[in-house]
């Protein structure tokens, strides 16, 4: 039997954007199984609770059969190893992301040389999106409905209106 290729897409997803969803869909077409792993970093101030972020991700990925959503509160490579994943997925939006992501990938390789980092670029129409920018726009009552999945738009409106 062929070995299943499992990939982990770690992140805070606070909130999940159409850019994140684009990367998830791309990864699901490449790997047998994709685990979207929501970081439970209590030191970071999040708009949404970990449970809310998981619920939103489950809602927007429910139609993608080989995608599951989970949480983690350890190093991404440690979590990936615990799930028998050999790949970490990272999204690259702009060249400004590259320096940080490259440094992180090299550090992860040093921590576990058996886990590879694969960079995926979102479609150009969503490549500029960041959760931070969306939260700022939504907090000022700007319309972000074309930038986030519908459940996220509704959740942002509940918080900011």
- Residue 26, CA atoms < 13 Å, CB-side half-sphere: 17
What is the pLDDT, as a whole number, of residue 1? 38
The rounded mean pLDDT for the chain is 93
37 neighbors 72 (Cβ within 8 angstroms): yes
Q: Tell me whether residue 44 is one of the annotated catalytic residues.
A: yes
44 has a pLDDT exceeding 50: yes
Give the pLDDT band (50/70/90) at residue 96. confident
For the question of whether the overall pTM of this predicted structure is more than 0.85, the answer is yes
Q: Tell me whether residue 131 is one of the annotated catalytic residues.
A: yes
Give the pLDDT band (50/70/90) at residue 3. low
Q: Which comes out higher in pLDDT, residue 126 or 66? A: 66
Name the nearest CA neighbour of 8 among 59, 84, 64.
Answer: 84
Burial 79-103 (b: 16+ CB within 10 A, else e): bbbebebbbbbbbbbeeebeeebee
Share of the chain above pLDDT 90, in %: 81
Mean pLDDT along residues 88-93: 93
What is the radius of gyration, based on Cα positions, of the chain?
15
Coil, helix or strand at residue 64:
coil
Q: Tell me whether residue 86 is one of the annotated catalytic residues.
A: no
What is the pLDDT, as a whole number, of residue 111? 96
Residue-range domains of the chain with CATH: 6-160 (3.40.50.620)
Q: Residues 53, 86, 90, 93: which is the catalytic one?
A: 93
Q: Tell me whether residue 82 is one of the annotated catalytic residues.
A: no
Coil, helix or strand at residue 73:
coil
27 has a pLDDT exceeding 80: yes
6 has a pLDDT exceeding 80: yes
| Separation of alpha carbons 54 and 61, rounded Å | 10
């Amino acid at each position: 039997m062929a070995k299943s290729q499992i990939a982990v897409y770690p992140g805070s997803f606070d909130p999940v954007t159409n850019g994140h969803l684009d990367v998830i869909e791309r990864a699901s077409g490449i790997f047998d199984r994709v685990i979207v792993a929501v970081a439970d970093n209590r030191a970071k101030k999040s708009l949404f609770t970990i449970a809310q972020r998981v619920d939103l991700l489950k809602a927007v990925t429910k139609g993608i059969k080989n995608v599951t959503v989970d949480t983690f509160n350890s190093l991404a490579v440690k979590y990936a190893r615990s799930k028998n994943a050999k790949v970490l997925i990272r999204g690259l939006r702009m060249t400004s992301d590259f320096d940080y992501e490259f440094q992180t990938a090299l550090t992860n390789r040093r921590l576990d040389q058996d886990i590879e980092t694969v960079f995926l670029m979102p479609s150009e129409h969503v490549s500029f999106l960041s959760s931070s920018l969306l939260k700022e726009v939504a907090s000022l009552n700007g319309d972000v409905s074309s930038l986030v999945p519908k459940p996220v738009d509704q959740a942002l409106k509940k918080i900011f209106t």
